[in-house]
Amino acid sequence: MVKPMVQDKGVDHTIDFLKEGYFYFSKRMNEYQEDTVNSRIFGRKLVMLRAGEAADLVRDTTKFKAEKSISELSTNFLKEENGVFYLADIDDHQEKGWFQEAFSAEKREELESIIRQRWEERIEAWKTNPSIDFMMEMEELWVITVCNWLGIPIRANSLQQRTTDIQEFVQLYSKYGLNRLKRNQAKNRLEKWLVFLIRQLRAGRVHVDEEKILYKLSWYEDTSGYILPAKEVVQELLLLIRAFVASSRWVVFSQAALLENPELKERLQGDKGYVNCFIYEVLRYYSVIPFSVAKTKQQFFWKDMFFPNKQLVLFDIYGTNHHPDLWTEPEAFQPDRFLDESAVGTETAPDTAAESITMQLMRVSLSYLLRTDWMMSDQKLHFQGSEVPARPKNGIRLEFYHEDFYEDI
């Protein structure tokens, strides 16, 4: 017997979505006390899903494909770490032919070394210019880091423009719906810059370390023995850049969590085992990427509910990470919830060799956040649901005033 889905009241909920942002989805499902709800936004019918069983469903590539209009939020990027859902980082490139050659434990060590160098430089700069917008500082730091690591030369006089373009490219949604015009303009500038760079490299006019990913990708041969077209190399580079730079948002929210919960800092400094709990709670609580969108490839039944072919489906990552049946006090920031391994069904600490690069970079950056003390002006550190990836609405204005030295985490 076919079970009918709960239907969201009203004809179209575009206005509600624009007002509430991605909080709209979990708010509606909480209202109906259902994890599967039919709705309509921008004139398009969609099914809203959340919770663990729904995550298993949308990860099934035999049933779903990424929605083209927002392909960056593909179900292929959806991951679960200790019951926390977020979009995957660079680890998803493992299926690409050049991945094993370009990435290794040595490359990850190199990445960590680069970001540590950049952090040290920033801390020194803050000593002479202590008033900063922390979010902008992190965005710039991450752009420099990823370019250094990939082997992309970037001049000081162009850093601000490149950072702005990359941030526009990373921002899938901004304020009201898809921020297509600014994003496409930024993407076009990035593509022209990188295509020119690759052609210069191939012509011998630009010299890049042969061990860098830019060099390896520029000369990578496909299965037919031909080097990849410059535009295809650029698309691969942009995937890498987007994945890394989006990770800077996790560091911004790690800082926000420390500022809003100052009592946690001393414990984190003295208890290395608690660091993973803190990072998992940042991933859960802030849910920088709040949802993924896909479309069915075939008709099927799930939990006695019928899904037609080409049905638009939205998996609510934020709603799952704040589900009242899955989490105790889901709207409270409580790293202690991850001390109980049985509460999440997996081990709290992942295998160091296999942990995601996002976790690795969050841990490194947290070690520097714990080294520094800040004074914060009177401001609210809330983020709005109309921004994807999420970010603090007004940035984070800080005054750097002290640096501690202690054993690294």
Cα–Cα nearest to 236, from 79, 88, 93: 93
Other C-beta atoms closer than 10 Å to the C-beta of 360 total 18
8-state DSSP, 173: B
Cα–Cα nearest to 228, from 239, 214, 212: 214
Token look-up 């080409």 returns 310
Q: Which residues of the chain have pLDDT under 70?
A: 68-79, 86-103, 173-179, 341-355, 405-409
pLDDT, position 409:
62
Q: Pairing between strand 305-307 and 300-302? A: antiparallel
Burial annotation 216-243 (CB, 10 A radius, 16+ → b, else e): bbbebeeeeeeebebeebbebbbebbbb
Token look-up 């023995």 returns 225
Number of residues that make up the chain: 409
294: which strand partners? 66, 313
8-state DSSP, 369: H
CA pair distance 168, 162, nearest whole angstrom: 10
pLDDT, position 174:
63
- Strand, helix or coil for residue 375: strand
**Residue 268 near residue 366 (C-beta atoms within 8 A):** yes
SS3 readout for 84-132? EEEECCHHHHHHCCCHHHHCCHHHHHHHHHHHHHHHHHHHHHHHHCCEE
Q: Say which amino acid occupies 218.
A: S
**Token pair for 245:** 């730079």
Token look-up 């752009």 returns 143
**Residue 67 near residue 294 (C-beta atoms within 8 A):** yes
CA pair distance 266, 286, nearest whole angstrom: 22
Other C-beta atoms closer than 10 Å to the C-beta of 359 total 19
Instruction: Please write the tens of the pLDDT for every residue from 272-286.
Output: 889 999 999 999 998
CA pair distance 9, 38, nearest whole angstrom: 9
Residues 6+ apart with CB under 8 A from 352: none
pLDDT, position 351:
41
